[in-house]
């Protein structure tokens, strides 16, 4: 099978030392990198010399796409093995192997466990795109995943590879291949790598059957069909919310320099607007109910679950100046294209105004329209067929409409205390509903994104109306 079924399927970047601005020492820079890696449980990390921005949502299944050009990969850094000095290990891009995303898994695994030209072991490959602009990584983390090991076992078995050097058989290597094999000592690590590489070479030379039977393809994280009208956080969330350690009780100028370095190098390299915040004192960082914004503003925000309803997300999310953000806790029961959901997720305005969410919004707007006409006003056919959300906007927000009996009926049905809020939201909702029903959801070459012309306020108005009318119960 191809390596693209087993790699990281996308990248998060940090600035290299030369690109990071600010008065940071090498030690502060490396501690900042280490904090980022700890919070994401990364064993290796790509460094770039300018922003490298992803253009599609990170759902952990779809191949990553990036803006043309952008920062070039300059270095890769990995955590040290137990027998190495306790410092991050840096490798120039030119001294790390690069493979096409369609490369055979055994070929990639062979390169991963082979030394580079300096007889050093980066234990990471860049995958896809070009060496300067790769799409993904393949490291020991991916090699040691059960799905990857199972496919390697299948490939070696099919190629009838029985023994490697020193009598290592396929069964033994599969069962015993863990990080411990690489961490015991340099000598043991090299012996393990040589034995594995020998077996992979035999497997590559002995393959005579279809190597891609699809058994161990990357799983799709879209586990459930969305229930439109009752969407859940997991239906629209972006599956990777990046975070750092940060003292939420201190002003930015009082933060440890390593925290500031971490924020600058990852937020700017990826053009992130928000970062999650982790407990600064924990060896196993704990996600905290805060977000960190570009200008080091900290906002307290409830942490939601992947099964929270979209209504709960909207009510709990942080809204300011036309921007929205909500953070979703990890959910080990949810399988994704990277295994069991490995990171917290995030919902921003981009996710709220994505296609699936906008379809759901149109369904909700239709339900609101039906509820107002049938339940609140008691209209029945054929009269009900003459009413729309636009009718409510006309009667509630025009001079002529407000002088009619219909306006009095609506005011009585909605409640005089709610009328001002109702008028504001019905005007926004009508505009959005008409936009969605009459073309906004259709593909268009004239729009840079689906949400062009759709405001966050108009989207939220539909859900405010549903709540106001008691339809969330």
CB 326 within 8 A of CB 346: yes
Exposed e or buried b for every residue in 244-278, given b needs 16+ CB within 10 A?
bbbbbeeeeeebbbbbbbbbbbbbbbbebebbbbb
Query: Which pLDDT belongs to residue 447?
Result: 58
Tokens (6 digits) for 243: 């975070």
Name residues whose C-beta falls within 8 Å of residue 325's C-beta, 6 or more positions apart in sequence: 273, 274, 291, 301, 317, 318, 346, 347, 348
CATH of domain 3-206: 3.10.580
Collapsing DSSP to helix, strand or coil, 169 comes out as strand
Question: Any idea where the domains of the chain sit in the sequence?
Answer: 3-206, 233-350, 356-468
Query: Which pLDDT belongs to residue 164?
Result: 55
Distance CA 160, CA 54 (A): 42
Tell me how long the chain is.
Answer: 473
pTM: 0.88
Q: What residue spans of 162-213 are helical by DSSP H?
A: 170-176, 180-183, 186-206
Query: Which pLDDT belongs to residue 269?
Result: 97
Query: Which pLDDT belongs to residue 208?
Result: 53
Look at the block and give the residue holding tokens 């039977």.
Answer: 213
Other Cβ atoms closer than 10 A to 443: 7
Look at the block and give the residue holding tokens 């700017």.
Answer: 268
pLDDT, tens digit (0-9, with 9 covering 90-100), for 377-400: 999 989 999 999 999 999 999 999
Low-confidence ranges of the chain (pLDDT < 50): 209
Distance CA 421, CA 410 (A): 13
Q: Give the DSSP H or E segment for 245.
A: strand 243-245
Comparing C-alpha atoms, which of 192, 7, 169 is closest to residue 81? 192
β-bridge pairing 345-348 and 323-328:
antiparallel
Query: Which pLDDT belongs to residue 443?
Result: 65
Comparing C-alpha atoms, which of 101, 100, 110, 96 is closest to residue 204? 110
pLDDT, tens digit (0-9, with 9 covering 90-100), for 150-185: 898 888 888 777 665 555 677 766 777 889 989 999
Query: Which pLDDT belongs to residue 448?
Result: 59
Distance CA 88, CA 76 (A): 10
Comparing C-alpha atoms, which of 224, 196, 234, 221 is closest to residue 114? 196
Name residues whose C-beta falls within 8 Å of residue 151's C-beta, 6 or more positions apart in sequence: 1, 5, 6, 105, 215, 216
How far is C-alpha 178 from the chain's CA centre?
A: 27
Distance CA 389, CA 465 (A): 11
Distance CA 49, CA 329 (A): 31
CB 276 within 8 A of CB 327: yes
Distance CA 130, CA 8 (A): 16
Q: Counting Cβ atoms within 10 Å, is residue 119 exposed (0-12), middle (13-18) or buried (19+)? A: exposed
Distance CA 431, CA 453 (A): 10
């Amino acid at each position: 099978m191809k390596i693209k079924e087993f790699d990281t399927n996308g990248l998060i970047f940090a600035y290299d030392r030369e690109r990071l601005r600010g008065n940071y020492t090498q030690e502060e820079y490396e501690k900042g990198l280490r904090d980022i890696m700890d919070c994401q449980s990364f064993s290796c990390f790509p460094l770039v010399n300018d922003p490298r921005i992803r253009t599609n949502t990170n759902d952990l299944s779809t191949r990553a796409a990036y803006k043309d050009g952008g920062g070039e990969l300059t270095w890769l850094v990995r955590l040290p093995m137990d027998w190495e000095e306790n410092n991050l290990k840096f490798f120039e891009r030119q001294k790390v192997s690069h493979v096409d995303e369609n490369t055979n898994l055994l070929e990639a695994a062979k390169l991963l466990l082979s030394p580079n030209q300096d007889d050093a072991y980066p234990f990471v490959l860049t995958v896809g795109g070009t060496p300067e602009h790769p799409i993904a990584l393949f490291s020991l983390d991916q090699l040691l995943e059960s799905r990857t090991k199972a496919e390697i076992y299948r490939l070696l078995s099919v190629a009838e590879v029985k023994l490697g050097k020193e009598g290592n058989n396929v069964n033994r290597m599969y069962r015993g291949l863990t990080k411990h094999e690489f961490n015991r000592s340099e000598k043991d690590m090299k012996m393990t790598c040589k034995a594995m590489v020998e077996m992979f070479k035999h497997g590559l030379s002995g393959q005579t059957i279809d190597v891609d039977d699809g058994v161990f393809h990357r799983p799709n994280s879209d586990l459930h069909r969305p229930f439109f009208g009752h969407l859940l956080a997991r239906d629209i969330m972006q599956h990777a919310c990046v975070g750092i350690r940060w003292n939420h009780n201190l002003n930015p100028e009082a933060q440890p320099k390593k925290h500031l370095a971490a924020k600058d190098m990852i937020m700017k390299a990826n053009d992130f607007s928000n970062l999650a915040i982790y407990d600064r004192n924990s060896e196993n960082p704990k996600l905290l109910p805060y977000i960190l914004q570009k200008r080091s503003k900290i906002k307290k925000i409830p942490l939601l679950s992947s099964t929270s309803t979209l209504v709960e997300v909207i009510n709990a999310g942080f809204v300011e100046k036309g921007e929205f953000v909500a953070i979703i806790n990890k959910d080990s029961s949810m399988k994704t294209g990277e295994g069991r959901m490995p990171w917290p997720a995030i919902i921003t305005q981009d996710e709220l105004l994505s296609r699936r969410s906008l379809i759901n919004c149109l369904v909700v707007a239709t339900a609101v329209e039906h509820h107002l006409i049938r339940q609140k006003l008691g209209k029945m056919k054929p009269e009900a067929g003459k009413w729309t959300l636009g009718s409510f906007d006309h009667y509630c927000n025009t001079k002529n409409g407000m002088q009619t009996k219909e306006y009095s009926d609506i005011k009585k049905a909605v409640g005089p205390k709610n009328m001002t809020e109702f008028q504001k939201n019905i005007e926004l909702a009508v505009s959005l509903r008409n936009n969605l029903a009459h073309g906004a959801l259709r593909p268009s070459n004239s729009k840079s994104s689906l949400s062009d012309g759709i405001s966050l306020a108009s989207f939220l108005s539909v859900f405010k109306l549903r709540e106001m009318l008691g339809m969330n119960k």
